[in-house]
Amino acid sequence: MQTSVYRLAVLSDIHIDLENGGKNTYFIHAERNLRRALEVIRAYDCSLLISAGDQVTNATGAEEEWRRYRQILTESGYTGQVLEAMGNHESRYAQYGGCTIEDCRREFVRFTRLAEKPVLRPKGAGDGTAYYAYLDDHFGDAFLFLALENGCNTNQIDNFSDEQMDWAEELLARYTREGRRIFLIQHAPLYGDGVGDNRGEPAYEGSIRLSDAKGRVFKNNRRFHRLTRQYPEMIRLSGHTHVDLRDKVNYRRDGCHRLHIPSLAGSTRLTKRDGKPTLDRTFYGDAAQGYLAEVEEARVIFRGIDFLHRRFYPEFTYTIERKQNHLY
């Protein structure tokens, strides 16, 4: 029998939403769902809580949303580590001209735990506002948090800088040599990749592309894609599409282990319109889904859960075995 080393909670798309001071809130159940999830996570005794991005909605400025997010974390009494990836909504207000992308990055770092130990930031990170980071050693495991750093429209841009990809490649190579178990957390899946969406006929247009409609190549998106194939034992966690666990596009093994996390604020369902695959974009607020995981020496067991109703989904449990001798 395997012995649990630690317990891990995985969320995504929390979407604290206070558009126009709360007058135009879209994700109306976001705060309630986060509070309920934190109650469950405390009871489950998780030493680490990971969020795969879009902690805030950021339609008319995110500072008050960030403050509410941190307030909910504090009031929950959860004392484990909380670590977040930077999603596309973190920079959304810059798209509307309300601030710059650099402002959004600084705000993200200010209100998350990226500026705190034991999270380690890249060396030479300019003014210190490193919005991608890593947790070097949690019971021997390594966690890399990549950032969508160049804007909100994920499917239309090269999402990563040369510096971020150089940093990620160096760390992945080192941790592989050391025989670490590696978790890579990055908000958006690749288009047509089969996690969080259909593989053959994708329903969601907003995922990461390798090139645009005119054939312009996104070189660092391609570097990111290669990383997902180069390290087959890496565990890659992403959200972004909000697709419900019940649509059964949660896990794939070709390339690295890839796991989709639905939205805590409300899931959406795959459907068809005029014969073409699409999302119904209902954002069901009564489906506050994510994972609670048992991390053992030789495997990780991700258990799909509805945090709102405190109900596990046995059919959406994914066991990822570690290779013999714990080496990749």
The Cα–Cα gap between 218 and 76 comes to 41
pLDDT of residue 114: 62
The pLDDT of residue 37: 98
Q: What is the DSSP letter of 225?
A: H
Q: What percentage of the chain's residues is helix, strand, coil (to nearest 5)?
A: 25, 25, 45
**Mean pLDDT of the region 298-307:** 98
Q: Cβ(196)–Cβ(260) under 8 Å?
A: yes
Range with lowest mean pLDDT among 15-19, 118-122, 162-166, 188-192: 118-122
Residues ≥6 apart with Cβ < 8 Å to 317: 301, 302, 303, 304
Q: Are 326 and 296 in contact (CB under 8 A)?
A: no
Q: Which domains does the chain have, with CATH numbers?
A: 4-326 (3.60.21.10)
pLDDT band at 120 (very low <50, low <70, confident <90, very high): low
Q: What is the DSSP string of 249-307?
A: --EE-SSSEEEE---SS-BB-EEEETTEEEE----BTT--EEEEEEEESSEEEEEEEET
Q: How confident is the model at residue 327 (pLDDT cuts 50, 70, 90)?
A: very low
Distances (CA, A) of 273 to 241, 246, 276, 279, 280: 18, 19, 5, 9, 9
- Per the CB < 8 A criterion, the answer to whether 167 and 128 are in contact is no
The pair phi, psi for residue 102, each rounded to 5°, is -60, -40
